[in-house]
Amino acid sequence: MARRRIIAGNWKMNMTPSQAKELCATLKDLVANDAVDVVYCVPAIDITTVVEAVAGTNVKVGAENFYIEDKGAFTGEISAPMLKEAGVEYVIMGHSERRDIFGEDDILINAKVKKAFAAGLKPILCCGESLAVRKAGTYVDWVKRQITWDLYGVTADQVKELVIAYEPIWAIGTGETATADQAQEVCKMIRETIADLYDAATAEAVRIQYGGSMNAGNAAELLSKDDIDGGLIGGAALKPDFGQIVNA
């Protein structure tokens, strides 16, 4: 089964609303490719601006975070129903920056996966090992454990709609990309883990991205690999290069 390619930008904590609008205008023609799912995951404050800016184009809007309750006394947080109503379709969870800087663990991430589906949002679930784990050689078990915990109680039909992003932490923002073979090795293992946890059809359907210093120069090789169905792009998503990645 051919899986549809998905190229998502993770803008992280970049772009004021006016800058966001400008970036959408810059990228508009460069990312116009109906054969690919193109997603901009943007800071909450930019969502309304970006939804408006990409209306009528092939670009979908994603969020970078949310909290698992629908509403209430959670100062500073935004909920999945809020994102949904604002026009968001995808939402990132499990990103290493949220795990490491904001202390999010697999129990919370698992709750986020379920809440996103309940609210009609598609999760982009991130996983990936640190440099220490990579050097210790235990990265396969590490990523397998993350996926297993994060998907606990999630149904096969939901997993078929899920996007998993493999982002080795040592390759994020460092300019040091995993080689295409290194990325493929782990993405293949993730698919095998889904086959073990669910079944072959679910493993075949789930889309797996690579993320970590993906750029206009290395995207084509990474994306040529059997189990790499797309990319989650940080730095290069803020530049015209993003268009080259979409069309790689």
Residues that bind ligand 13P (CB under 6 A): 10, 95, 167, 172-173, 211-214, 232-236
* Min separation Cβ 31 and ligand 13P, Å: 16
Distance CA 41, CA 60 (A): 9
Which residue, 234 or 243, is less far from ligand 13P as judged by CB?
234
Distance (Å, whole) CA 191 – CA 201: 11
List the one residue out of 123, 140, 126, 234 whose CA is nearest residue 184.
Answer: 140
Whether residue 95 lies in the annotated active site: yes
Tell the smallest beta-carbon distance from residue 9 to ligand 13P (Å).
8
HSE, side-chain direction, 13 A CA sphere, residue 201: 4
From the candidates 64, 97, 104, 167, which is the catalytic residue? 167
Which residues in 70-83 are b (16+ Cβ under 10 Å) and which e?
eeeeeeeebbbbbb
Closest-by-Cβ residue to ligand 13P is 234
Which of 25, 45, 50, 37 minimizes the C-alpha distance to 240?
Answer: 25
Give the nearest distance from C-beta 199 to ligand 13P in angstroms.
Answer: 29
| CA angle (45, 38, 153) in 5-degree steps | 80
> Is 64 an active-site residue?
no
Residue 110 phi/psi, 5-degree rounding, is -60, -45
If we measure between CA atoms, which residue out of 89, 191, 103 comes closest to residue 143? 191
The minimum distance between CB 236 and ligand 13P, in angstroms, equals 6
Closest to ligand 13P by CB, 202 or 223? 223
Instruction: For ligand 13P, give the closer residue by CB, 59 or 126.
Output: 126
Choice among 69, 85, 95, 192 that is catalytic: 95
> Could you list the active site residues?
95, 167
